Structure 1
Amino acid sequence: MRERCFSLPGRGPGTSHQILTLSFGNPDARPHVHVQGGLHADEGPGMMVARLLADLLVEAEAAGRLCGHVTVVPFANPLGLGQVLHHNHSGRFDLYDGRNFNRDYPDLTDDAAARLEGRLTDDPQRNTGLVRAALRASLNERQPVGPAEALRHHLMDLALDADVVLDLHCDGEAEMHLYTQPGAWDRLAPLAALTRCRAVLLAEVSGGNPFDEALSGPWTALAKRFPDHPIPLGCASTTVELRGQADVCRTRGMQDARAILDYLTHLGALSGMVDLPPALCSPTPLAGSEVLTAPAAGLLSYAISLGAEVQAGQTVAEITDLETGQVTPVRASTSGVFYARPLDRIAEAGKHLGQIAGDRPLRDGSLLSP
């Protein structure tokens, strides 16, 4: 294992932040898999799993099992880790400007396309190398300003050359689920099976350019721009939602870390054999994910459990008016798995109350929550 510590500038004079990267195997080997936790710094499960995965990789490397290259960032957002307001951790949004730490990553497509003009060949493997070099040159030319942009730039720099990227997150309360692009699904289906995902949400463009999409999106876009030249998907990236914020547990975290280790073995980054379990779900479009919203304010309770199969018209939640006692039902308009909901139980009008993974597109535009 090799350790690298990168220093980010702080917002004020005399301040700085550190990001630790752990590297396993030959840095020039393939496949290269990048795993990070805690980009939303108030989401502990991903940091726990990334840390435990690193411990497992130390053992695997000592046993001579590393065939590829694996990089692990146990805590990807030291800026957010330092944001504590009135004893409560606030790590999803930058308190300086309100921006989501997992949005607004640079789109390298246009600049890379200009660099590739007239250089692509009929050889997919050679084109993969050319695209990686063009994306790398495009990122290197950018000069980030301020700590949040320096963070985005550094995380992109770490993951840009990877074949597979796992960005570990969680929801308020949730079943295991993941987000990815349709073109990456074949490569990530074994991960969904091994981690026992109850929902897989696919979208080519989800909106806001989150970290995972900023890495895989240019490959899809460049393949469309140069249809006469074969460009494989050089980076399959995904956001893995490790259940809910309260699900920080070494026992469960180790189960998830071992599932990811098995996935690395399946990819060939580690030696060994893995038997894939049957999948618990089929992928559905992110546009088909119904976001339930509160029609009124009040106390929130749920009529069904997470993971339940919901039918259109079924009552999912109820809102109790504290003045009148009136109960307002919140019903599903689609059928599918009820896979996520908020952690708190006080609702304001318009609050997002949960998500149902349906197979019929319902939405367009920006498909991710703020």
Structure 2
Amino acid sequence: MLTIQHPLLPAVPGTTRSLTSLHYGTPGSGPKVLIQASLHADEVPGMLVAHHLRQRLGALESAGRLRGEVVLVPAANPIGIGQWTLRSHQGRFELASGENFNRAYADLAPAVAEAVRGQLGADAAANVARVRAALRAAVAALPAASELQSLRKALFGLAVDADVVLDLHCDGEGVLHFYTTPDCWPGLQPLARCMGAQAVLLAEQSGGEPFDEALSMPWALLARQFGPATPLPQACLAVTIELRGEADVAHPLAAQDAAAIEQFLALRGLVADAPSDAAALPPLRCEATPLAGSMPLVAPHGGVIVFVRAPGERVTAGDTIAELIDPFTGALTPLKTPVDGLFFARENRRFAVAGMSVGKVAGAQAQREGALLSP
């Protein structure tokens, strides 16, 4: 295992931070997989899964069983991990700018299209190699004028030429669920089966330019731009994996998730002498649904939140999911789901302000437009 430190641009003199990446296997000897944990630094379950993965990957490497390269970023946000204010961890937004750490990743497709124009042909593997080289060059050319930009660039550089990218997050409280694109979903179905995902939300461009889409969407966009005469497969499968809720930090769960990820790596050909029969996997626990069909439950006023339904329950339009109580007047407002679907995530705080989303129901039909992700 090789450990690499990637220094970030210091925000002010006298301070230094670096991003740590752990590299297992041999680059170029097979597929490349990037797994990163806790880009939102206050979402801790991914760090514990990474802890279990580093033990598994180390054992596979020592036994000579890794075919390819696995890059593990055990704590993907050294800026956010240190942002504590009045005993509360603030790891979702950079305090200096207010920017979400998992937004505003650059759209590389235009620069790559220009760089490879006239160079692609009928050989799909050669096309993939040329596009990956152009992607690496496009990331190298990105600005890094702030500490946050330097972090984004470092993470981008580690992942941009990977075959598979697993971005480990979590919700406030919820069941294990995925966010990915329609083009990635067929290749990620075995992972959903291995991990027991209970909801899968699909969108081509969800708004906000999150990390996973910045890596996967250039392939789909370029394939459409150059047309069927220029074969270009979906060469990067990228997914945001929500590892249940913020408090689901326990060795049994993390060990289970790490084992499932290792099983998926074996299916992708990265583990020698391992079962690789996808037909033997558990069945899918859900059908994929559009992210535009995921409906938020919004508090019309502030108050105490009392949930009457739990994540993982199927609900019907009109069902009360929670009650919102004004502690001054005693008024009680039921919060009802507008759609049939799976109640898959909810807020972990129990007091709401007006306009706050306190839960999410995955419906089967697209009903929203514009920015589909929470801020």
Using the size of structure 1 for normalisation, the TM-score is 0.98
Q: Deviations over 1:30-74 (max 9, x none)?
A: 211100001100010011111210111111112221012111000
Contact 2:52 2:254 in 1 (8 A): yes
1:91 aligns with 2:96: no
For 1:263 and 1:65, how far apart are their aligned partners in 2? 15
Residue of structure 2 in register with 1:255 after alignment: 256
Distance 1:229 1:300 in 2: 54
Amino acid at match of 1:207: G
The equivalent residue for 2:60 is: 60
Alignment equivalent of 1:288, drawn from 293, 311, 335:
293
Q: Secondary structure at the match of 1:182?
A: coil
What SS is found at the alignment partner of 2:133? helix
Give 4+ residue runs of structure 1 displaced > 3 Å after superposition: none
The CA RMSD over aligned residues, in Å, is: 0.9
Q: Which amino acid aligns with 1:215?
A: L
Q: Deviations over 1:261-282 (max 9, x none)?
A: 1111111111210531111111
- Superimposed CA distance per residue, residues 152-206 of structure 1 (whole angstroms, 9 cap, x where no aligned partner): 0000000011000000000100100010000001111111111111100000000
Distance 1:78 1:125 in 2: 36
Deviation, 1:224, is 1.1
Deviations along 1:244-290, one digit per CA (max 9) or x if unpaired, are 11111122111111111111111111121053111111100000101
- In the alignment, which residue of structure 2 is the partner of 1:307? 312
In 1: Cα distance, 2:138 partner to 2:18 partner: 25
Q: Which residue of 2 aligns with 1:195?
A: 195
| Per-residue CA distance 1:82-111 (angstroms, 9 max, x = gap) | 111111111100000100000001111111
Q: Which range is displaced more, 96-105 or 25-34?
A: 25-34
* TM-score, structure 2 as length reference: 0.97
Confirm whether residue 339 of structure 1 aligns to residue 363 of structure 2. no
1:143, distance to aligned residue in structure 2 (A): 2.6
CA distance in 1, matches of 2:212, 2:336: 32
Following superposition, the deviation at residue 292 of structure 1 comes to 0.9
- Which ranges of structure 2 fall in alignment gaps of 5 or more residues? none
Counterpart in 2 of 1:158? Answer: 158
Matches within 5 A, 1:41-190: 41-190=41-190
Question: 1:218 matched to which residue of 2?
Answer: 218
Partners of 2:88 and 2:352 lie apart in 1 by: 19
Q: Does the 8 Å CA contact 2:42/2:92 hold for their aligned counterparts?
A: yes
Matched residues in 2 for 1:230 and 1:347: separation?
50
How many Å separate the matches in 1 of 2:301 and 2:3?
51
Identity %: 46
Does the CA contact (< 8 Å) of 1:9 and 1:15 recur in 2? Answer: no
Distance 1:12 1:2 in 2: 30
- 1:11 CA drift (Å): 1.2
Displacement of 1:214 in angstroms is 0.5
| Residue aligned with 1:273, SS | coil
Gaps of 5+ in 1: none
